[in-house]
Amino acid sequence: MSGSVGGEVKAEPNLTPLLDVVFQLITFFMLVINFSQDNYDQRVVLPVTGSARPVEPKPDEDRLVLNIDKDGKLLFNGAELTTEQAIQEIQTQARLVRINLEFARKAVKPGDPLPTVIVIRADRKTPFSQFFRLVGACQAQGFQKFALKAMKSDEG
């Protein structure tokens, strides 16, 4: 027979609600965190150049990564988009940038350039005509800042 001689009552805290809240917070942060590597599609084989150097992104810089495969198709969120679908997606992204700027009270007039940097990761076998067409679509939507990704050669 187990019991206390003095009749003391032990009050132990119920940790179940606390653990529930902690797990919900962990789940929330896992869902909203931005993994920067998610934007880089492994199917794209970058061109090799001796003068490639890493670009240090600014903390407040808005970036949009466009992956272009060897056939000239835009790889966006894991899907292969045709040229027309890619142009529509670029238009959608430009609208989203404008909405975000309006929300931040930094409205951009229709003719003004957008501050977003377009990072282009084009496969080394991408046809130039397709590359040029996607860059032109970006410029038509107001994007003017571009960064091209390449791999640095291992030689020298």
Q: What one-character DSSP code corresponds to residue 60?
A: T
What is the average pLDDT across 92-112?
Answer: 83
Give the domain range for residue 83: 36-152
Overall number of domains in the chain: 1
Q: Which residue has the higher pLDDT, 150 or 57?
A: 150
What is the rounded CA–CA span in Å between residue 135 and residue 81? 15
26-35, 50-59, 96-105, 111-120 — which is least confidently predicted? 50-59
- Is residue 6 domain-resident? no
Reading phi first (left if > 0) and then psi (alpha if -120 to 50, else beta), residue 53 is in beta
Neighbour tally for 104: CB within 10 Å: 8
**Residue 119 belongs to some domain of the structure:** yes
Residue 115 lies in a domain: yes
- Whether 127 is covered by a domain: the verdict is yes
Q: Is residue 111 part of a domain?
A: yes
In a domain, 47, yes or no: yes
The average pLDDT across 119-131 equals 86
Question: The whole model's pTM is what?
Answer: 0.66
How many alpha carbons lie under 13 Å from residue 64 in its C-beta half-sphere?
24
17 in a domain, yes or no?
no
pLDDT surpassing 90 at residue 57: no
- The number of residues making up the chain comes to 156
Q: Is 22 a member of any domain? A: no
